[in-house]
Amino acid sequence: MGGDSYTEVSSRSWFSRIGGAFKGIVIGLVLMAVAFGLLFWNEGRAVERYKTLKEGGGIVLSVAMDHVDSGNEGQLVHVVGRADTEATLLDPDLGVQARAIGLIRKVEMYQWQERSKSETRKKLGGGEETVTTYSYAREWAGRAIDSAHFKKPEGHANPARMAYESKTVIADDVRLGAYRLPDFLVRKIGNETPLTLDTNFKPPHNMPGTIHRENNGFYFGTNPDTPQVGDLRIEYKVVLPADISLVARQMGSSFAPYQASAGGTIELLEMGIKDAETMFQQAQQTSTIMTWIVRFVGFLLMALGMNLVLAPLAVFADVVPAVGSIVGAGTKFISTLLAGAVSFITIGIAWMVYRPLLGVALVGIAGAIAFLLFKKAQKIEPAMPPPVPPVGPPPVPGG
């Protein structure tokens, strides 16, 4: 892979940085508001999901896949078995076809990519100098990269578009015994495997450029060993029939999402044969992981927002770079602590709304701990300093 680089040096005065820092306060406040909303919403989502899955786990019915019982219409059912189809899927562009649940075409184009790395140096007087290095390398990518927006587009031009793009075709009629699977469940089926093209298969004659056959696709270009910008490589995968387990609302001989009274919906699909209890346990675990991921994202947004709000302090101190660095480190530390505190308070407020009993209990425990610490601090008396010996000669007895 060939590559090169381009370096750009830019400078900002102290007054320009001050103006940017104050503009950053607005952005910081917006990020803090977004973080507050995200954290608050996440707790409500977690509680709703927990109640939804709890409700579903208590009413789900395990039914056989070989016949449809009309008495279960509208009920939440658990069905296991082999998802299969008689459909033959076709890629209309290249003529590739396969008997499968899904046919996946992955397309990549060899093209220039731009990456940048910046290093900022503070200068005496509060200004700063930024050295940005833009590097260019030819790599495979799954989307067309617009080279017109490169810092140095000369010599790094990419084609404006890809002749073919990635796409997925799914079968219209996928069966689970007597049931027909709807598209939203079919798309959840995994079991992807590379498609080996038939040795006698030939692409259409009207295809542009030079085409090379490969085991599971094609190469559009002169030589696969020495790719050039604009070359394409196309690989195919198929989703084959497989054993699945699902939980959803029975609707005729098909399925739909189940609307729980808690407010959420249930549509679960797992690969392999699994009982209903295991599926609901895994769904609860997935929800818990998602809750913690969103909490962490909310905390990061809160920390970033607070750091932007406090940033002017560091810029003011940057008149002397060494002092500015110390103040900057301090503001980052304070921002992190405040973000943690505000994030916990936000979650606590959300619990007061969505989990009143737990929220009140936690607030009560926190208050009791604070009260005990306060009382303990009052009982600790400061140590008396040792007596100071008198200065001068000792007194004369009887004198």
Domain assignment present for 395:
no
Q: Which domain does 309 fall in, by range?
A: 8-46+290-378
Same domain, 139 and 259: yes
pLDDT averaged over every residue in the chain: 86
Same domain, 352 and 301: yes
pLDDT in tens, 185-238: 999 998 899 998 887 777 776 666 788 888 789 999 999 999 999 999 999 999
Same domain, 82 and 210: yes
d(CA 95, CA 213): 13
Same domain, 107 and 253: yes
Domain assignment present for 283:
no
* 238 contacts 25 by C-beta, under 8 angstroms: no
Return the pLDDT at 194.
95
Domain count, the chain: 2
Same domain, 227 and 367: no
Domain assignment present for 389:
no
Same domain, 147 and 203: yes
**pLDDT at residue 396 greater than cutoff 60:** no
Residue that terminates a domain, selected from 213, 246, 274: 274
Same domain, 245 and 206: yes
**pLDDT at residue 304 greater than cutoff 70:** yes
In this prediction, what percent of the chain has a pLDDT beyond 90? 58
Q: Quote the pTM value.
A: 0.77
Same domain, 331 and 200: no
Residue that terminates a domain, selected from 228, 243, 274: 274
- Number of Cβ within 10 Å of residue 143's Cβ equals 12
Same domain, 192 and 252: yes
d(CA 370, CA 349): 18
d(CA 336, CA 273): 46
Domain assignment present for 394:
no
C-alpha to C-alpha distances, 180 to 83, 171, 296, nearest whole angstrom: 9, 11, 40
Which residues are 9's β-sheet partners? 131
Same domain, 341 and 215: no
d(CA 216, CA 197): 6
pLDDT in tens, 63-72: 999 999 999 9
Which secondary structure element, helix H or strand E, spans residue 181, and what is its range? strand 179-181
- Number of Cβ within 10 Å of residue 116's Cβ equals 12
